[in-house]
Amino acid sequence: MNVFGGSQAGETKKIISDIQSSNKTLQNEINNQQKEIHNIKSNVVHLLTLENRMSELFNNYIETNTTLSFILSSIDSVNAEIKRITGIFDENSLPNHGSYISDLNTLMNVFGSSQAGETKKTISKLDDSIKIIRFELNEKMSQLENNTKIIEQKLSNIVQLTENLKFKVSDLEDNVDYMKSQISDLVENDAEIAEIKKPKE
In a domain, 63, yes or no: yes
Do residues 65 and 144 touch, judged by C-beta distance below 8 A? no
Question: What pLDDT score does 189 carry?
Answer: 66
CB atoms within 10 A of CB 101: 21
165 to each of 7, 135, 173, how far by Cα in Å?
A: 22, 45, 12
Amino acid 57 reads L
Q: Rounded to whole angstroms, how far apart are CA atoms 47 and 39?
A: 12
* pLDDT tens track for 157-197: 777 777 777 777 777 777 777 777 777 777 676 666 666 65
Number of domains in the chain: 1
Q: CA 103, 108, 112: angle at the middle one, nearest 5?
A: 150
Question: What pLDDT score does 20 carry?
Answer: 77
CATH code of residue 132: 1.20.58
Mean pLDDT of 25-39: 78
**Phi, psi (degrees; rounded to nearest 5) at 108:** -65, -40
Domain extent, residue 65, equals 39-185
In a domain, 154, yes or no: yes
In a domain, 139, yes or no: yes
Do residues 77 and 40 touch, judged by C-beta distance below 8 A? no
* pLDDT tens track for 53-95: 777 777 777 777 677 667 667 666 766 766 666 665 555 544 4
Do residues 12 and 171 touch, judged by C-beta distance below 8 A? no
Mean pLDDT of 127-147: 74
14 to each of 9, 19, 44, 95, 160, how far by Cα in Å?
A: 9, 9, 45, 113, 20
In a domain, 197, yes or no: no
Mean pLDDT of 21-43: 78
In a domain, 174, yes or no: yes
